[in-house]
Each structure stands twice: as structure tokens, then as C-alpha cells.
Amino acid sequence: MIRGWTARLLGGATGLVYLFLYAPVLLLVVFSFSADRNVGRWGGFTLEWYREFGANENVQSALAISLQVAIVSTLVATVLGTLAALALERFRFRGKKVFDALLYLPIIIPDVTMAVMMLLFFTWSLDLVDTVTGFQLRKGIATVVVSHIAFNISFVSVVVRARLEGMDQTLEQAAADLYASRWQAFRHVTLPLILPGIVGGALLALTLSLDDVVITQFASGPGSTTLPVYVFGLIRRGVTPLINAVSVVMLAASVLLVVLSLIAQRSREPGRATTE
Amino acid sequence: MKEGDIPMTRKLLGLLFAFTLVAAACGGSDDAEEAAATGDCAVGQTDGDLALYNWSEYMDPDLITAFEAEFGVSVTEDFYDSNEAMQPIVAAGGSGYDVIVPSDYMVSILIEEGSIMKLNKDAIPNLSNLASDFASGLPYDPDAEYSAPYQWGTTGIGVNLSVVGEDVPRTWGLIFDAELADQYAGQITLLNDPRETMGAALKYLGYSLNSTSEEELAEAQALVAEATERVAAYDSDQYDELVGSGQTVIGHGYSGNFLFQFLELDNPEDYTYFVPEEGGTRWIDNMAVVADAPHPCTAHTFINFLLDAENGAALTNWNLYASPNAAAEEFIDPEVLADPIVYPVDQSKLEEIADTGDFEINYSDAFNEAKG
């Protein structure tokens, strides 16, 4: 079908795309081992930046907070996002269109707008709780988690819905024909089929949460500086390879996550084959 | 040209404006209440753990540990990367922070919108350690009612000595005088900041950098417009790295950034930073207590702690910015104290940028027109 110069052209384009995508990553990794404090100038091999990463208390605590926020917000957003996707795909109810549109909102609106909304929301609602109940709640890790859940629900539900749309509904009807209860049908038919979508959505949520700067900054209170927020502040003092080292560790962690999820999905495949 | 910076600045200004409105609408009553509560603080009194909101890498961690040990409270430090990132969070109220470290112009904004409280000076006896020109009369807080200086620095010129020579004239002419500057065409950067860059041109002309004369500003605009042809970029982020890596020869920028950049090089003696003989900007970062700070007494105690002579010196020895603390000088590393990059020899012609009110727009317009 594709022969000669077309093939070569496509091959070249593919190569360029990969180069464009991965050359910066490669440079980042290489320079994280550079002894020169100036990013972009090679000064010989060193592990100094990784040692500093391990020794710098601020970085460590920011990392711990980032992981806490990412894991909790991903778990909650994955459950809620999946439920929302199921509701929108499988049921008809009043206000469905509005709900559908609202769910897309966090994806469409700019980060800054979302951040301001969060800031106002938390300021007002915590104030309200204080006046009504007398409980003095403060912004902190919890408010950051809530804000991350808020935008992650949308992303998870979009991914899960795409999976649900592609799924043959007659399979569920067949399960019902065979006297499966609604729960059994969901547990043994629907869930395994949409699981790759759920895992994909969860990974996306995890990545977005680990990445976010603007919304986090506005939703945070004392003791909730996350790693990206801290790194962003460090840049004011000039970029040192410490930032590269931090990024490489985060990159390695995300690659590991992706690989793990691929393995998880593959091991489910035989089970899926039988249901299909 | 970094055109992209303008919309970003506008966006931030827009945000700032929105928050000023919000803060004005819903913050009023609480502020008065909290301000009254602070009168009770005694020297060294604490009322809970401290939440500090500061620039990254600006506080010696040993000082935090020492404060925790001395007063038996714990300190949480969070970080921001610009005044504009910090302001909306504090202005919205309920931020939970006690002490913040805003720069000069931001102090006047925070005062105006009621986001920081009046300091109870009785609880901060170490204010007497401040050098006289920092103790009062600063344009953003004339009676030093709301803020106590933290650290200061200058805006000037960083140069590559191996290109310009050791005995280079230390003047803004390196940027604005065609005879001196033309040989470095394409190797000069100017800050992408209306007040700083128009201010440099005003200083070169012998005017105040807070001038509100339209004629003087027009002269400065003509100078900057002419310099635009020699300028490689209007840049506020990478000017120090550009000089350090040899891509530019002359950079307009902040003292601390150049110092850190040069310290990182193998040949720091080939570079220097100076405030031109015509004078330049002095910027000051300040400590202030948030209007609805949950622990105002601990906040006052913390400010007093940092204004202590030895603690103030430790801060400067750690972050290498100049200290406003006169009593601290005997404890500051003599090498730092003698470093003209940190402490310019002639400080008489330094000026703080003051809010010119309605005239600010003239500065932005003149700057944008000059950039072309």
C-alpha cells in the first residue's frame, strides 16, 4: 500500500515527532547528572543532585504532600468519575443534559479561572462553617485534595464514557437474561470491560494532580506546598540540576505507573476474552 | 522580544483587581476585630504554631529550628514565586497564614486593601536594631506602621568583564549612550518591567526614578526607544544566565540573581554587578502580619526574633541579601559585608520605587511605545 518515497516520508515524519517529543526528556535526564550548577552546561558526571534531592527537607516534605494529594484525589475522583460516566451513559433522567455540560466545565475553563473559583469557594464556605457551627476549619492539604478531585472527576468520566460507548450493551442484557442481578451484571460483565478505561482515567488523574500548580496554589493553606509549586518557586533563584533530578524521579515514577497499568490490563485479558 | 509577557501581566493585574474588589466587599468587619486583638501581645508571647508564607529559598532553616526550640512552637513554611501569586490568596481572607514577606510596592497594595494588620510595635522591641533609613520614611509605608524590612537589594547592571574590560565606566551609558553601547549591540538585555527600565533611563538623565513629569518621562522614552535597537531582549527571567553563559555582555537586573549566577561559575572573577554611578533602584522585602492571622502574637514574636542582631546576621550570611539591620552588621560575615555586589559602596543615589498613582499608566504606555 505505502511504498517508496511515501513510506520514507512517513518514516521521517514519525522520527521527527518522536525526536521532538523525547529529545527534551533525554536532555533533562542527561543534565540531571551534570556537575555544573548551570543547567545546559556539561560539567562532568555527578550524583550530587540526587543526593541533594534526598537531603533537602523542603523537597522531601513537598514530595510527600504531592503524593498524598495525588493518591487520595485520584482514588476519590476515579470512583466518582466512573459513577458519573455510568449514570450519563446508562440512564435517562431529568437535567441530564445540564449535568453532562457541567461535567465538561472543568476541562474547558482555564486553570486560572478554576483556581479563583476554588479560592473564593473555600474562603466563603470555611467562613460559613465557622459562623454556623463554630468549627474553625483552615485551608490546607484537605482543600487541595478537594480541588484536585473537582477537576479530576471530569477527566476520569470522559475517559470512562469513551470506553462505555464502545461497549456492546447487549452483553449486559444477556447477563440479565441469565438471571444476573444488576449488581452481578455490573460486577462480572460491565466492570471488567470498562476497567482499562477506569485505569486509564485514574492514571490521567494521578498525572494531572502531580502536575498542577495554579489551582493548587490558590486552594492551599499552611503546610500544603506541593512539589510542583515548590519547584516553580525555586526557578526564581535560577534553574539548577536539582530541578532536573526532581523531574527525573517524577518521570521515572510515572513511567513505572504506566508500565504497571499495562501489565495489570494484560493480565485481565484472558478473563475478558471469555466474557466476550 | 517577549510579547507574551504582556498579556500575562494584564491577566495578573486583572486578578489583582478582582481580588481587591472581593476583599473590599467581604473582608471589612473581620479586619477591625483582629486588629484589636493584637494589642494584647507581649514581647515573646506566643499563641500557637506559626504559618509562614515566604519566597522559596529565602529563609535559613536553622533559624526556623532555633525559633521553634526557643519558643516551643512549630513553624510551617510555604512558598510563593511572585508577589502576584501571594496577594490574591492573602487578600481573599482565611488563608491561615500569619507572616508574609511582600516586596515594597506590594506592601502599599496590601495596606490599601486591608490585608495586613498594623504592627504592635511594643511587641517588637528589636525594631530599634533597624538602620535609620529603614526604620521609617519608606515610600510604601511611611510611618512603618504595617511592615518591618526583611532584606534588601538593588537593580543595576551585570557585566562580562572579559569583554568590556576591568576599567569599564560604571554608568547606565553602557546601555543608553550610543558611543559606549553600540559596540555591544545585540548583547544587551533590559528588564521587561516599565518602572525598572524607564527608571534606569530616568536615572541616567539625572532625574528621580519616581518622576511624575511628562517631559522627563518623554526624554526617557526616547532613550529607551533608541536603546531598543541595541537590545537583544526585554527579559526579566534569564538575564543573569545569559550574561553568565556568554550569550550577552551587559544585563539589566537584580543584584541577588547576578550574585548567585556568578558564584556558580568557574571563573566568577570575570563577571561583576554594580549599581551605576547615576544611581538605581533599591528594592526591599518586608515582614508583615496578615490581617486575619490565626496567631498574631506568635507572628509578632517571630518578627522580633528575626530582627535580633545575631539572627538578622545569620539570615544575610545564609541568603546573601543585604540586611536592613544595623545591629546585625558586626555578626555578618566580613566578606559579605565588604562585597560591593551585596552592599553597594555608594548608597546615596539609591531610590525605592514609589507608587505614582494615576501616573503609573504613563510609565506602562511610555515603556510599551519605546519597545516598539
What does the DSSP assignment read for B51-113?
EEEEETT-S-HHHHHHHHHHHT--EEEEEESSHHHHHHHHHTS----SEE--BHHHHHHHHHT
Q: Residue B214: which CATH number?
A: 3.40.190.10
* Interchain CB distance below 8 Å, B78 and A122: no
Nearest-Cα residue of chain A relative to residue B15 = A116
How far is the first Cα of chain B from the last one, in angstroms, to the nearest whole number? 10
Q: Does one domain contain both A104 and A173?
A: yes
* Residue in B22, B53, B89, B235 to test binding to A, most A beta-carbons within 10 Å: B89
In-domain check, residue A115: yes
Average pLDDT for residues A194-209, to the nearest whole number? 89
Q: CA nearest A222: which of A143, A150, A111, A146? A: A143
Q: Residue A185: which CATH number?
A: 1.10.3720.10
Q: Does one domain contain both B244 and B365?
A: yes
Q: Report the C-alpha gap between B161 and A27 in whole angstroms.
A: 31
Residue B172 and residue B201 in contact, taking contact as beta carbons nearer than 8 Å: yes
Residues on chain B touching A222 (C-beta within 8 angstroms): 51, 53, 76, 78, 96-97
* Residue in A224, A237, A242, A246 to test binding to B, most B beta-carbons within 10 Å: A237
In-domain check, residue B290: yes
* Interchain CB distance below 8 Å, B92 and A238: no
- Look up residue A144 and give its amino acid: V
- What's the sign of the alpha-carbon dihedral B257, B260, B266, B269? positive
* Interchain CB distance below 8 Å, A218 and B244: no
Instruction: Give the pLDDT confidence score for residue B284 in this predicted structure.
Output: 94
Cα–Cα distances (Å) from A214 to A262, B104, B334, in that order, read 30, 24, 41
Tell me the nearest-neighbour CA distance from A200 into chain B, angstroms. Answer: 32
Chain A within 8 Å of B265 (Cβ-Cβ)?
A: yes
Among B56, B78, B88, select the one facing A237 at the smallest CB separation: B56
Instruction: Give the pLDDT confidence score for residue B260 in this predicted structure.
Output: 85
| Long-range Cβ pairs for the range A112-116 (8 Å, 24+) | A112/A214, A112/B11, A112/B15, A114/A150, A114/A151, A114/A214, A114/A215, A115/A214, A115/A215, A115/A217, A115/A218, A115/A219, A116/A218, A116/B15, A116/B18, A116/B88
Residues written for chain B: 372
- Look up residue A173 and give its amino acid: Q
Instruction: Give the pLDDT confidence score for residue B214 in this predicted structure.
Output: 94
Task: Report CA B203 to chain centroid distance, whole Å.
Answer: 18
Q: Report the C-alpha gap between A145 and A67 in whole angstroms.
A: 11
Instruction: Give the pLDDT confidence score for residue B4 in this predicted structure.
Output: 35
Among A38, A116, A236, select the one facing B245 at the smallest CB separation: A38
Q: Does one domain contain both B132 and B19?
A: yes
Tell me the nearest-neighbour CA distance from B258 into chain A, angstroms. Answer: 10
Number of structural domains (chain A) is 2
Q: Report the C-alpha gap between B288 and B99 in whole angstroms.
A: 6
Higher pLDDT, B282 or A34: B282
pTM, to two decimals: 0.78
In-domain check, residue B236: yes
Q: Does one domain contain both A123 and A226?
A: yes
Tens of pLDDT along chain B (372 residues) come to: 333 343 444 445 445 545 544 444 444 344 434 444 455 789 999 999 999 999 888 899 999 999 999 999 999 999 888 888 899 899 988 899 999 999 998 999 899 999 999 999 999 999 999 999 899 889 999 999 999 999 999 999 999 999 999 899 999 999 999 999 999 999 999 998 899 999 999 999 999 999 999 999 999 999 999 999 999 989 888 888 889 888 899 999 999 889 988 887 888 889 999 999 999 999 999 999 999 999 999 999 999 999 999 999 999 999 889 999 999 999 999 999 999 999 998 888 899 988 888 898 999 999 999 988
State the DSSP H helix or E strand holding residue B299, giving kind and residue range, or none if neither.
Answer: helix B296-306
Residues on chain A touching B15 (C-beta within 8 angstroms): 112, 116
Q: Does one domain contain both A101 and A197?
A: yes
Tell me the nearest-neighbour CA distance from A141 into chain B, angstroms. Answer: 12
Q: Does one domain contain both A20 and A97?
A: no
Q: Which three cell numbers stand for residue A132?
A: 454556623
Q: Does one domain contain both A15 and A126?
A: no
In-domain check, residue B342: no
Among B81, B96, B241, select the one facing A222 at the smallest CB separation: B96
Q: Does one domain contain both A7 and A67?
A: no
Residue A156 and residue A208 in contact, taking contact as beta carbons nearer than 8 Å: no
Residue A105 and residue A154 in contact, taking contact as beta carbons nearer than 8 Å: yes
Number of structural domains (chain B) is 2
Q: Does one domain contain both B161 and B70?
A: no
In-domain check, residue A90: yes
In-domain check, residue A79: yes
Read off the pLDDT of residues A149-170 as tens digits, 9 standing for 90 and up. 999 999 999 999 988 888 888 8
Q: Report the C-alpha gap between A69 and A224 in whole angstroms.
A: 9
Residues on chain B touching A235 (C-beta within 8 angstroms): 81
Whether the pLDDT of residue A269 is over 60: the answer is no
Res. A271 pLDDT band, cuts 50 70 90: very low
Q: Does one domain contain both A83 and A20?
A: no
* Interchain CB distance below 8 Å, A120 and B22: yes
CB neighbour burial string for B137-160, b if at least 16 within 10 angstroms, e if fewer:
ebbbbeebebbbbbbbbbbbbbbb
Range with top average pLDDT, A32-41, A120-129, B59-68:
B59-68
Residues on chain A touching B97 (C-beta within 8 angstroms): 221-222
* Interchain CB distance below 8 Å, A139 and B81: no
| Domain extent at residue A190 | 58-275
Residue A168 and residue A142 in contact, taking contact as beta carbons nearer than 8 Å: no
Q: Which three cell numbers stand for residue A148?
A: 484536585
Instruction: Give the pLDDT confidence score for residue B256 in this predicted structure.
Output: 86
* Residue in A41, A65, A123, A214 to test binding to B, most B beta-carbons within 10 Å: A123
In-domain check, residue A36: no
Tell me the nearest-neighbour CA distance from B36 into chain A, angstroms. Answer: 19
Q: Does one domain contain both A96 and A179?
A: yes
Q: Report the C-alpha gap between B12 and A252 in whole angstroms.
A: 34
Roughly what angle, to the nearest 10 degrees, separates helices A57-90 and A191-211?
A: 140
Read off the pLDDT of residues A128-144 as tens digits, 9 standing for 90 and up. 888 888 887 888 899 99
Instruction: Give the pLDDT confidence score for residue A266 in this predicted structure.
Output: 67
Q: Does one domain contain both A137 and A10?
A: no
Among A218, A221, A237, select the one facing B260 at the smallest CB separation: A237
* Interchain CB distance below 8 Å, A222 and B78: yes
Q: Which three cell numbers stand for residue A16?
A: 521527527
In-domain check, residue B19: yes
Q: Report the C-alpha gap between B211 and A49 in whole angstroms.
A: 47
In-domain check, residue B72: yes
Average pLDDT for residues A39-54, to the nearest whole number? 84
Give strand pairing partners of B322.
B152
In-domain check, residue A45: no
Among A38, A218, A232, select the one facing B244 at the smallest CB separation: A38
Q: Does one domain contain both A6 and A114?
A: no
Q: Report the C-alpha gap between B323 and B307 in whole angstroms.
A: 10
Query: What 3-state class would DSSP assign to A136?
Result: coil
Nearest-Cα residue of chain A relative to residue B53 = A222
Residues on chain B touching A237 (C-beta within 8 angstroms): 56-57, 257, 260
| Domain extent at residue B231 | 153-280+353-371
| Vertex B175 angle, CA B171 and B181, to 5° | 100
Roughly what angle, to the nearest 10 degrees, separates helices B194-204 and B360-371?
A: 80
Tell me the nearest-neighbour CA distance from B216 into chain A, angstroms. Answer: 33
Listed by number, the residues of chain B in 282-311 with a beta carbon closer than 8 Å to a beta carbon of chain A are 294
In-domain check, residue B129: yes
Q: Does one domain contain both B30 and B127?
A: yes
* Interchain CB distance below 8 Å, B81 and A140: no
